[in-house]
């Protein structure tokens, strides 16, 4: 399986979108500071993920979720989360 995921920075409230074949390991890497792009934004919480059977599908989904329309999709998809 390949995963497209979204993390929420508990420090600044920003989102990070990524892709990985091993979600547990990647989340641990983010929170231990081994990922340069999220190191200063720790701690991070996994708020959304999608699983794909084919790597190219997961990469395409990551690219979509990073786009303007993809960000709107996430805000709509997680509207109850954002209303907490």
Establish whether the linkage from the previous residue to 43 is cis, with ω within 30° of 0: yes
Taking 70 as the pLDDT cut, the residues of the chain under it are 84
| Angle at the Cα of 77 from the Cα atoms of 83 and 75, rounded to 5 degrees | 60
For the whole model, what pTM was predicted?
Answer: 0.93
DSSP, collapsed to helix, strand or coil, labels residue 49 as strand
Contact 74, 6 (CB under 8 A): yes
Topology of the domain comprising 2-82: GIY-YIG endonuclease (3.40.1440)
- Tens-digit pLDDT profile for residues 11-33: 999 999 999 999 999 999 999 99
Domain ranges of the chain: 2-82
């Amino acid at each position: 399986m390949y995963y497209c995921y979204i993390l929420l920075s508990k420090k600044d409230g920003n989102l990070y979108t990524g892709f990985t074949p091993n979600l547990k390991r990647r989340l641990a890497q983010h929170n231990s500071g081994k990922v340069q792009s999220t190191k200063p934004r720790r701690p991070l919480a996994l708020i959304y993920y999608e699983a794909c059977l084919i790597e190219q599908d997961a990469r395409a989904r990551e690219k979509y979720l990073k786009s303007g329309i993809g960000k709107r999709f996430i805000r709509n998809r997680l509207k109850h989360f954002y209303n907490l």
